[in-house]
Structure 1
Amino acid sequence: MEMDEDELLEPQQEAIPQATPLVATSGASIDTLHKKAALRVSGVAQTTVDQVAKVYKSERLQSVLQSVSEFASQVRSPNDIQGPVEADPEYLLIVEANNLAVDIDNDIHAIHKFVCDLYVKRFPELESLVVNPLEYVITVKELANDISKVKHNPVLQQTLTQATIMVVSVTASTTQGQILEPHELAKLLNACDVALELNQAKTRILTYVESRMTFIAPNLSYIIGAPTAAKLMGIAGGLTGLSKMPSCNIQVLGSQKKVLSGFSQTAVLPHTGYIYYCPLVQETPPDLRRTAAKLVAGKCTLAARVDAFHENSDGSAGRAFLEEIMRKLDKLQEPPPVKAIRPLPAPVEAPRKKRGGKRVRKMKERYAQTELRKQANRMTFGEIEEDAY
């Protein structure tokens, strides 16, 4: 059957209008994205980084950093303390430095939110791909308006994992962001610099606190080491704040949210903080690390309370706690006891059933072969029977 050329073109002409709504929807989604980005940018348009970072230019930060430089050059021991330790100027400095480290963390998170609101106009997807505040700030500072230089950037190679770099690179090639204006870019880079400077100040404070941990918390340092003890005190706001926490909260101090961007979920370790990554826990077999972290967190809670009351300044309580932890870990790693091979028990033989008695004999006689049947079947030797022929 032949068809006209007009009839052949009819299906094609009917199919063309169906693609129009898809394009319109895509354009509408891009417009919505731009409107949301513009709304977030307008929210911080009149805000400066000095208004967000309260600690950055404060006299408190400068005073603590100056005192840290002065006390860092001195070598002290617990015997140098005369009177209550709370009255010692270096102890007061360490407590203030720990509180300041917490405030610096809060300012870094506030600057991270400020940078996200500014950079959402250029690369809105980056906020969900790089969730760590410092990693996000470093990435934004390196990319700026040129988001194509992700792969071969040496700074990002040291900051982000290869999987994250690959995902960011692929997403950057398809993003619908807009170029930032010069004044917006200048404000953005200034905020990134402030965040990195605050992080350097925090690192300097924690390094000093770590060097004085045997002076402040000898028992806690004996269990998990000075670096981990300094991190716990820094995030808890001092030794007193740490001593008031339950062990379940101390166990997860320092845990971070991890986003694998569609990759395997096997690498995610939820509820793992500083204690989980301390050398004592990492030296145990992988299948016992969670149990070891729970055990260490409980003893760290007790050690922090001992240090908070300034008892056992020689670390003897921490040494006893550590020995108890090691005994329990050794007990957990012991192989199960070998089962004793027991001989099989002698078989119990049931007594044989003896069928007998008057009733049984009568039943056997009833079904037994009669004498007449025996005579009928009997043949005499040497005689010819009647039915032989």
Structure 2
Amino acid sequence: MLLLFETAAGFALFKVLKEKKLEEAEDLASDFATLEAAQKVVKLKAFSKFENTTEALAAATALVDSKLSKGLKKFLKKHVDEDEKLALLDKKLGSIVQEKLGLNVLWSNQVLELSRGIRSQLTGLISGLAGADLRPMSLGLSHSLSRYKLKFSPDKVDTMIVQAIGLLDDLDKELNTYAMRVREWYGWHFPEMTKIVTDNIQYAKCVVFMGTREKSAGLDFSAILEEEVEGALKAAAQVSMGTDISESDLDNIKDLAHQVIALSEYRGQLFEYLKNRMAAVAPNLTILVGELVGARLIAHAGSLVNLAKQPASTVQILGAEKALFRALKTKHETPKYGLIYHASLIGQSQPKYKGKISRVLAAKCALAIRVDALGDTSDATVGIEARQKVEARLRQLEGKLLGTEAGNSKGKEQPAKYDKARQGATPALATAPKAYNADADAPAEKKEKKDKKKKAEEPAEEAEEEAPKAKKAKKDKKEKAEKAEAAPEENGKADKKEKKKKKKGGDE
């Protein structure tokens, strides 16, 4: 019977000399107490050494996953006959070897005890393998294997993001301090320039390029300023109320201006680096809230994994802890947002909708962070779909979109169901909105007062309605009386006319 034993240096195949010893597993420890006793139980038949660390890592990962590697397959085919029994430590690997190679495989607790004994005398049983060689091999392979199991990648290190965003915030503070110092210092010589050139970096470049204000008339500022600003600067330089400064003063001001320009250039490079890191580490979060807000969330939580452990409600108010605890202590309203307030999606929403959008965005961010921290994929499909849903919700709140269109972001666009109420020039809502019922929210006492008031008002309203009816009836009676009085007179006139006609007829 043969026994396969895996080491950090390679595969070893031992021939078991005393197979009956496997049945007596309790006595195996005494048989491997010394190298001479161990050589009587097992004997090395073949040894396949790994050529490099890559091959050793591939073989070790295959064994951990219970897979048959190419190197092990060749080794077994070469040294194991079909008639011989092969003892293995892994039951799953044994079943694969039995299926693919057709060998008679054995695995049991006795095999484990035998391999434990071989491990204690390994350097003596394998000739040419010293302990000094095996120790660094085992250490290197264990590190490589642990990195593989943890799926460690240098591109996924979020520590760089924490340091970069911290440095970026510090640079912004220093830049503002230095730029204000340049303005104050050079303002003694040319105070009007402060209002004309508002940008700090352009101001520093103008100071370096111009020097004293008298030289501005013959210089071309087109590379730094616009034409209108340049004209205003030159006009102000001719009538400036500033004091004159010496060359040594101007040199020191220029040195500080050089520092401002250099810091601004480095800040631009650092921001590009931060964008690349965020795109590699947290692509879904970056699409939802942007690079700066996403990096600040990660830095505030300590790491991406710590941020992934937080619920959506915590992500929403992350950065507003003082306001939260102050509100809880004073029993006031808790804050609606923290660092997430600076995201573009919340910035473009109306003030009355910022709280709702921040809650929706925080829920989507919580999912995106977990995908970035614990997912295997590096694409940003989850973030893109989540952003579309948040934008749809924002449009729905602002009345630009119907509610049914808010969730159709996945896959192809689907036509909306036919609804008669929606047809026409201006689509209407499928169901008419319910009007606000103020009586439903009023207390019982107020309702009773309202009912009494209504009952008192009803007779007055009825009297008001009956008044015009009575007036109309009186008018109709008057008209009928007048007609009745006029009727006899008209009848008398008609009789006289008839009598006259009869008399004329008789005379003729």
Does 2:216 align with 1:168?
no
Instruction: Mark the CA change 1:131 to 1:114 in structure 2 (over 3 Å): closer, same or farther.
Output: same
* C-alpha contact (below 8 Å) 2:284/2:369 kept by paired residues: no
* C-alpha contact (below 8 Å) 1:307/1:313 kept by paired residues: no
What code does the residue aligned with 1:338 have? A
The residue matched to 2:158 in structure 1 has which SS? helix
**Aligned partners of 2:298 and 2:218: how far apart in 1?**
39
Match of 1:203 in 2: 268
Of residues 370, 377, 380, the one that matches 2:497 is 377
The residue matched to 1:380 in structure 2 has which SS? helix
Q: Deviations along 1:43-67, whole A, 9 cap, x unmatched?
A: xxxxxxxxxxxxxxxxxxxxxxxxx
Alpha-carbon distance, 1:365 to partner:
4.3
Match of 1:134 in 2: 201
Q: Deviations along 1:184-221, whole A, 9 cap, x unmatched?
A: 11110100111112122222222111111123322222
* C-alpha contact (below 8 Å) 1:222/1:318 kept by paired residues: yes
* C-alpha contact (below 8 Å) 2:171/2:263 kept by paired residues: yes
Match of 1:56 in 2: none
> Mapping of 1:1-389 within 5 angstroms?
82=150, 90-146=157-213, 149=216, 153=220, 156-223=221-288, 229-232=290-293, 238=299, 240=301, 244-245=318-319, 253=342, 275=344, 301-302=362-363, 305=366, 310=373, 314=377, 315=380, 317-328=382-393, 333=400, 338-339=425-426, 364-370=483-489, 372-378=492-498, 379-380=500-501, 383=504
TM-score, normalisation: structure 1: 0.51
Alpha-carbon distance, 1:115 to partner:
0.9
**Aligned partners of 1:174 and 1:248: how far apart in 2?**
50
- CA RMSD of the aligned region, Å? 5.0
* C-alpha contact (below 8 Å) 1:101/1:234 kept by paired residues: no
**Aligned partners of 1:340 and 1:236: how far apart in 2?**
42
What code does the residue aligned with 1:194 have? Q
What code does the residue aligned with 2:504 have? E
- Whose relative contact order is higher, 1 or 2, with alpha carbons under 8 Å and at least 6 apart? 1
* C-alpha contact (below 8 Å) 1:123/1:175 kept by paired residues: yes
Larger radius of gyration: 2
Instruction: Mark the CA change 1:238 to 1:171 in structure 2 (over 3 Å): closer, same or farther.
Output: farther
Match of 2:116 in 1: none
TM-score, normalisation: structure 2: 0.40
Alpha-carbon distance, 1:127 to partner:
2.0
**Aligned partners of 1:82 and 1:207: how far apart in 2?**
29
Instruction: Mark the CA change 1:174 to 1:340 in structure 2 (over 3 Å): closer, same or farther.
Output: closer
Q: Deviations along 1:338-371, whole A, 9 cap, x unmatched?
A: 3599xxxxxxxxxxx99xxx99988754331345
**Aligned partners of 1:159 and 1:80: how far apart in 2?**
52
**Aligned partners of 2:382 and 2:244: how far apart in 1?**
60
What code does the residue aligned with 2:262 have? E
The residue matched to 2:291 in structure 1 has which SS? helix
Alpha-carbon distance, 1:303 to partner:
5.5
Q: Deviations along 1:46-93, whole A, 9 cap, x unmatched?
A: xxxxxxxxxxxxxxxxxxxxxxxxxxxxxxxxx9894899x9994223
Structure with greater strand percent = 2
- Unmatched 5+ residue regions in structure 1? 1-78, 254-273, 282-288, 342-352
Alpha-carbon distance, 1:171 to partner:
2.4
Matched residues, number: 259
* C-alpha contact (below 8 Å) 2:213/2:237 kept by paired residues: no
Match of 1:29 in 2: none
* C-alpha contact (below 8 Å) 1:122/1:178 kept by paired residues: yes
* C-alpha contact (below 8 Å) 1:220/1:300 kept by paired residues: no
Alpha-carbon distance, 1:150 to partner:
6.9
What code does the residue aligned with 1:191 have? L
Instruction: Mark the CA change 1:186 to 1:323 in structure 2 (over 3 Å): closer, same or farther.
Output: same
- Unmatched 5+ residue regions in structure 2? 1-146, 308-314, 321-335, 403-421, 429-471
Alpha-carbon distance, 1:160 to partner:
3.4
* C-alpha contact (below 8 Å) 1:219/1:313 kept by paired residues: no
**Aligned partners of 1:236 and 1:146: how far apart in 2?**
46
**Aligned partners of 1:165 and 1:301: how far apart in 2?**
46
The residue matched to 1:160 in structure 2 has which SS? coil
**Aligned partners of 2:357 and 2:217: how far apart in 1?**
41
* C-alpha contact (below 8 Å) 2:192/2:236 kept by paired residues: yes
* C-alpha contact (below 8 Å) 1:98/1:237 kept by paired residues: no
**Aligned partners of 1:238 and 1:252: how far apart in 2?**
16
* C-alpha contact (below 8 Å) 2:392/2:401 kept by paired residues: no
Alpha-carbon distance, 1:124 to partner:
0.8
Alpha-carbon distance, 1:308 to partner:
6.0
Which stretch shows the higher mean deviation, 167-176 or 242-251?
Answer: 242-251
Instruction: Mark the CA change 1:245 to 1:302 in structure 2 (over 3 Å): closer, same or farther.
Output: farther
What code does the residue aligned with 1:160 have? L
What code does the residue aligned with 1:367 have? A
